[in-house]
Amino acid sequence: MTSRSPTSLENLLVASNQHLRELAWAEFLRDHSDLFLRVARSMGGDNDAVMDRYAFVLDALRGDDFQRLRVWVSGGRGEFAVWLVVVVRRLCLDQRRQRYGRQQGATASSNEQHAQRRQLVDLVGDELALARVAGNDAESPEHLLRVAELRTALLHALDALPTSDRLLLRLRFEDELSVPTVARAIGVESPFPVYRRLENLLRVLRQALERVGVHDSSP
Amino acid sequence: MPEHAHLSPAEIAGYLAQDLTPGARSHVEAHLDACAECRDELVEVVHLTDAPAEVARPASRRRRQWWIPVAIAAGLTAVMVARPRPSSTPAATQSVERPAVGPTESMPRIGIIAPASGLEVHASGVVFTWHGRSADTYRITVLTEDGAPIWTRETSDTTETLPSKVVLEAGRRYFWRVDAVADGVVATSGVNTLVVKQK
């Protein structure tokens, strides 16, 4: 069993009879019911909906002799509480699907919603002020052509970046997260390294544009 | 992207804790770069795990205070302990071990999730959890073995934590029950017992 397992989980999974299991389950709930409620509330709805979700999570975690919790022991990584948040959040989504069915039609999936947003290349292009770099005559065909050329060059530069760097730009510009949130999302405690990485990345992209003949990409 | 291809909880937790091998971390980053759904989940998990440990409970619904005088009038007599007397009949003696549930016996039942009846619990921080019924309010009551209520609380949740100011004595047995209230008591858990662990 991993050393990162909380005591209440270990007691629960090794309980040898029903009485001990009930004891351990009560202790496990004492440790984690706040977390369950927090996740259940994050999905919205009125109090009844939240409490239905909460009860569903408890039933699901208890099911099959705590099979879902045993998965942590066999392959858990990171912190148990974080892992549990992911598991509980997915259970809440399952409960919502069971109750209301998969949302269709008007409600697009997350990927579809993202696709409807502006693409990363355009968002980073704004950051690098490509339109201004292309010249002031915004209505002229030459300007439009120049913008298109710059956009293509930037797209190639983004594709050439390491995945981790492109992910950083995506979280910052496409998902519009604050830098401190981006830092936490990539597992970095301080936002300052992220500020520096972003600054470096924008410089790298400017340099990439300079290599294709753009010399004034600084805003 | 099909659901089975999404990141696992272990991958997300491991990524956030920098607890993945370089290869596994690269795999996660490549997936996140391409999958907005998993990025959204990652960010949601960050927000949820950043939240303070004690989250304020949602605003309770308008509290119905009418039940208080009813409860006082009833003296919580729904839960009574039949004390054994020298002259008591065998039937009366049998009821000493468990409080009678009185007029609520035939009511719809509220399923108890935790603690299971008869369970040994710690003296503090006991979390009571039950299945919801269609009710505006739940009233949870903890009583001594003599049937004297020592704590009662009205809530719209289906879970409640025994506050620290309520001190349970080690080794003692207590009773507890939950009633669903909606224009009167409409369902009840019946009486459950709990035993406080010895120190």
Q: How many residues does chain A have?
A: 219
Per-residue pLDDT at A116: 62
* 0.90 exceeded by pTM: no
- Higher pLDDT residue, B133 or B58? B133
Residues 79-108 (B) with a CB less than 8 A from some CB of A: none
Per-residue pLDDT at A114: 62
The CA distance from B33 to B31, in Å, is 5
Place of tokens 């069971």: A98
Place of tokens 């025994």: B162
The Cβ of residue B165 has, within 10 Å, a number of other Cβ atoms equal to 7
**B171 pLDDT exceeds 60?**
yes
DSSP alpha helix (H) spans, A43-191? 47-75, 80-100, 110-116, 120-127, 130-133, 141-160, 163-169, 179-185
**B136 pLDDT exceeds 70?**
yes
The residue of A61, A86, A113 whose CB has the most chain B CBs within 10 angstroms, and thus the best one to mutate to test that interface, is: A86
* B158/A contact by beta carbon, under 8 A: yes
Closest Cβ–Cβ partner in B13, B26, B37 for A78: B13
The pLDDT tens digits of the residues spanning B73-102 come to: 333 333 333 333 333 333 333 333 333 344
On the CB side of A190, CA atoms within 13 Å amount to: 5
Write out chain B residues lying below 8 Å of A75, CB-based: 8, 10
* B31/A contact by beta carbon, under 8 A: no
Per-residue pLDDT at A216: 53
A185 within 8 A of B43, measured Cβ to Cβ: yes
3-state secondary structure chain B: CCHHHCCCHHHHHHHHCCCCCHHHHHHHHHHHHHCHHHHHHHHHHHHHHHCCCCCCCCCCCCCCCCHHHHHHHHCCCCCECCCCCCCCCHHHHHHHHCCECHHHCCCCECCEEECCCCEEECCCCCEEEECCCCCCEEEEEEECCCCCEEEEEEECCCEEECCCCCCCCCCCEEEEEEEEECCCEEEECCCEEEEECCC
Question: Which of A10, A48, A82 lies closest to B47, judged by CA?
Answer: A82
Residues 107-136 (B) with a CB less than 8 A from some CB of A: 113-116, 119-122, 125-127, 129, 131-132
- Higher pLDDT residue, B3 or B46? B46
Using pLDDT thresholds of 50, 70 and 90, give the confidence band for residue B2.
very low
Residue A61 CA to its chain's centroid (Å): 24
Question: Which of B55, B33, B116 lies closest to A85, judged by CA?
Answer: B55
- The pLDDT of B8-18, averaged and rounded, is 92
Write out chain B residues lying below 8 Å of A23, CB-based: 119-121
**B65 pLDDT exceeds 60?**
no
Closest Cβ–Cβ partner in B35, B45, B132 for A111: B35
What's the gap in Å between the CA of A139 and the closest CA on chain B? 35
Contact check, Cβ <8 Å, B159/A38:
no
**B129 pLDDT exceeds 70?**
yes
Contact check, Cβ <8 Å, A83/B13:
yes
Strand partners, B138: B155, B180
Contact check, Cβ <8 Å, A29/B114:
yes
- Higher pLDDT residue, B56 or A50? A50
Contact check, Cβ <8 Å, A78/B129:
no
Per-residue pLDDT at B56: 36
Per-residue pLDDT at B184: 73
User: What is the C-alpha radius of gyration for chain A, rounded to an integer number of angstroms?
Assistant: 24
Cis preceding-peptide flag for B115 (omega within 30 of 0): yes
Indicate the helix (H) or strand (E) that contains A27. Answer: helix A18-42
The residue of A18, A20, A39, A47 whose CB has the most chain B CBs within 10 angstroms, and thus the best one to mutate to test that interface, is: A47
Calculate the average pLDDT of chain B: 72
Per-residue pLDDT at B99: 38
**What are the backbone angles phi and psi of residue B150, rounded to the nearest 5°?**
-110, -15
Give one DSSP letter per residue of A146-187, joined into a string.
HHHHHHHHHHHHHHHS-HHHHHHHIIIIIS---HHHHHHHTT
Per-residue pLDDT of chain A (219 residues; tens, 9 = 90+): 444 788 889 889 998 888 888 889 988 998 898 899 999 999 888 888 888 889 899 989 998 889 999 999 888 888 999 999 999 999 999 998 888 776 544 455 666 666 666 688 777 777 777 666 666 666 667 767 777 777 888 888 888 899 999 999 999 988 888 899 999 999 888 889 999 999 999 998 888 877 776 655 444
Question: Which residues 6+ apart lie within 8 Å of A156 measured at CB?
Answer: A208
Contact check, Cβ <8 Å, B159/A170:
no
Closest Cβ–Cβ partner in A19, A39, A50 for B58: A50
Per-residue pLDDT at A164: 92
The CA distance from B16 to A6, in Å, is 19
A198 within 8 A of A168, measured Cβ to Cβ: yes
Highest mean pLDDT, choosing among A41-45, B6-10, B153-157, B189-193: B6-10
The CA distance from A135 to A138, in Å, is 7
Q: What is residue A103's three-state secondary structure?
A: coil
Write out chain A residues lying below 8 Å of B48, CB-based: 38-39, 42, 85, 89
- The pLDDT of B50-58, averaged and rounded, is 46
State the Cα angle at B193 between B57 and B63, rounded to 5°: 30
The CA distance from B32 to B144, in Å, is 55
